[in-house]
Copies of this chain bind each other. A is one copy, B any other.
Amino acid sequence: MQTSQARFEVATSGRGTTNITQKVREAVRASGIRTGLCHVFIRHTSASLMLCENADPSVRRDLEAFLARLVPDGDALFHHTAEGADDMPSHIRSILTNMDLTLPVSGGQCALGTWQGVFLYEHRRDGQRRDLIVTVQGET
C-alpha cells in the first residue's frame, strides 16, 4: 500500500460552484493507485466540497436558491459580520455541506456514480483563492 498527496489551488469568481471532478480524477491517475480511497480537503471555513448531480446546471442553481433562503445573508440573527453580510452565512453553509470528502478508487479510477460530480462550493460573494489537498491511499 502507498500514499500519494497533491495540492492544488482553485480561483473562484464569487459565490457558486466549480466542477473539480477532472482535477480529482487526474490526482487519482497520477498516484498509480488501483484500489483504495481518495480524500479531498479544502483548507478554508467559508467554502466547501460536495458531490452533486453533474448534468443539469439548474440543480446547482436550485441548491443555491435553497441555501440563500435557509441561511440568508444579512440575517439579524448574526453578530459575526466583520467581513460583511455573507461572512457568517458562508461559515454555516460550509459546515452544512462539509470541507472534507472521501471517494472510493477502483480499477485505478475514482469510482463515482454516473451522475456524481465533485464540486467546490464558494460561499463568499467575492472571488477567492482556495487551497486544496488530495490524498490517495491504496494498492498499486
Contacts and interface: CB of A to CB of B under 8 A. Distances in A.
A61 interface: yes
Contacts of A61: 79-80
Interface stretch (A8-16, A20-28, A47-55): A47-55
Contacts of A80: 56, 58-59, 61-62
A36 B99 contact: no
A131 B69 CA distance: 32
A111 B100 CA distance: 12
Contact of A77 (B3, B69, B131): B69
Interface string A99-130: 11111101000011111100000000000000
How many of chain A's residues touch chain B, expressed as a range? Answer: 35 or more
B44 A116 contact: yes
Contact of A43 (B5, B43, B111, B133): B111
A71 B67 CA distance: 10
A39 B104 contact: yes
Given A1-B137, A43-B111, A59-B88, 16 more contacts: A3-B35, A3-B36, A5-B104, A5-B106, A39-B104, A41-B104, A43-B116, A45-B53, A45-B115, A62-B78, A63-B91, A65-B78, A66-B78, A100-B102, A100-B103, A137-B138
